[in-house]
Amino acid sequence: MKRLKNRTLFVLFFTGMLVLGMLFLLFSYIKDGAYWAAHRPAGSITSGEITDRNGVVLYDYESGDYNADYDTRLSTVHAVGDRRGSISSGARQVFAGKMSDFNLITGISTKTERLKLSIDSKLNIRAREAMEGRKGAVGLYNYRTGEVLCMLSTPVFDPNDNAQIEAINSGAEAYTGAYMNRFLASTYTPGSTFKIVTTAAALETVSDIEDFSFKCTGSVSYGDHSITCPSRHGWLNLTDALADSCNCAFGKIANEVGSETLRKYAKEAGLLDSVNVSGLKTAAGSFATTGVPIDEGWSGVGQYKDLVNPCAEMTLMGCIAAGGTAATPRLLCDEGGLFVPKPESSSIGWQASTCARLKELMRNNVVNHYGQGQFGELPVCAKSGTAEVGGENAPHAWFTGFIDSDEHPYAFVVVIENGGWGSKQAGSVAAQVLEAACER
């Protein structure tokens, strides 16, 4: 009898555990089911495709094939992602969950067969050609709609070529950081592109900044150290100081503004925060405050410890172009009715009059300094940067800005690692990509 009782208790105990387990599973299913569906691995999707904005198929989930064209595959590898998921920000993996719906009764159902990216693969190809094998990032977006038309990170690789993947994994120098989407995930010393922030801070906090007058003799001493320019710029007003990108003048302006205020303006510019690009967070930049005049001067010139993400820089350019508030960059296209992403906007805390004055100054940079000729008829407003990175390494070349036009409302950024002179090297890449973007 006692034996029977023990057995009954034993069975009851396990039945109880089973019921509890099933209740827990049911609870988790209700609570987390939608999350599981939205985060299913790319490998579990067996139909559908990823296309660019023009319907060019970049990846087919059913066959597992990338586009048959070599240049298309290489130029879009960071946007689409690789088979192993080594590129963490690739659409193949990141947006896989968006292809499905979740229902408590019926479970996962297919929502769409097509994931349409906002990028134009032909524009990415053109950007890759213009980069000529150099490492860096190129981005271009419509600051009215937020659609990113061009997103390139170099070096690229062919997701179909195991020898190239092997070379990356074995640390080959030509492929350093090939799995990283530099446009979204990297930060660089901004060099003189940061003078836009310093100028904005000066316009709003230094009352007589428009009367600025300064004679550049090639260097200014701060104790034992000095801020230097590549040449003597002579007498400059604010417009010339920005166009000539005079370090000596901007070191002085930065000291008048003060590093706490500069930091506030870098923060307001969005350069110290992540940009949320269709759910992908960009790397946040940094700006160190300092009470030391020489450091304060260099930080206002975009050196010292300043770091900026290319996508955040591009977004800032869009905001200046649009008078303070612009569409936030996004990678999914709402044409075709697949998803209608919630429209989002990014704002900088600068007055509209400050943005208008910056636009004037940046237009002057192009017309009187970089040369309008390379941009055809396009009303391009821009700022170059030649960011010193220390040691024997050549500086990083930057070129960033926007087209001041309702017909072509594009903001852009180009960074070439160790590329040399910003306006010449990165400016040339920007000119080629802008021409292609406006010809589309």
Nearer to Zn ion by Cβ, of 196 and 241: the residue is 241
Phi, psi of 84 (to 5 degrees): -85, -5
Nearer to Zn ion by Cβ, of 131 and 216: the residue is 216
CB of 76 to Zn ion, least distance (A): 42
Using alpha carbons, list the distances in angstroms from residue 189 to 21, 154, 192. Answer: 54, 18, 9
- Cα–Cα distance, 94 to 418 (Å, whole number): 31
CB of 286 to Zn ion, least distance (A): 26
**153: three-class secondary structure by DSSP:** strand
Torsion-angle region of residue 25: left (phi > 0), alpha (psi -120 to 50) or beta? alpha
CB of 32 to Zn ion, least distance (A): 59
- Cα–Cα distance, 47 to 61 (Å, whole number): 5
CB of 299 to Zn ion, least distance (A): 17
Q: What angle do CA 67, 164, 189 make, to 5 degrees?
A: 95
Nearer to Zn ion by Cβ, of 243 and 331: the residue is 243
Amino acid residing at 338: L
Nearer to Zn ion by Cβ, of 74 and 241: the residue is 241
Nearer to Zn ion by Cβ, of 117 and 248: the residue is 248
CB of 235 to Zn ion, least distance (A): 11
Element (H, E) at 154: strand 148-154
Helices (H) and strands (E) in the chain, counts: 15, 19
Which of 202, 325, 337, 331 shows the shortest CA–CA distance to 264?
Answer: 202
Q: Which two tokens stand for residue 368?
A: 């009187």
Nearer to Zn ion by Cβ, of 186 and 192: the residue is 192
List residues near Zn ion by CB under 5 A: 216, 229, 233, 246, 248
CB of 233 to Zn ion, least distance (A): 4
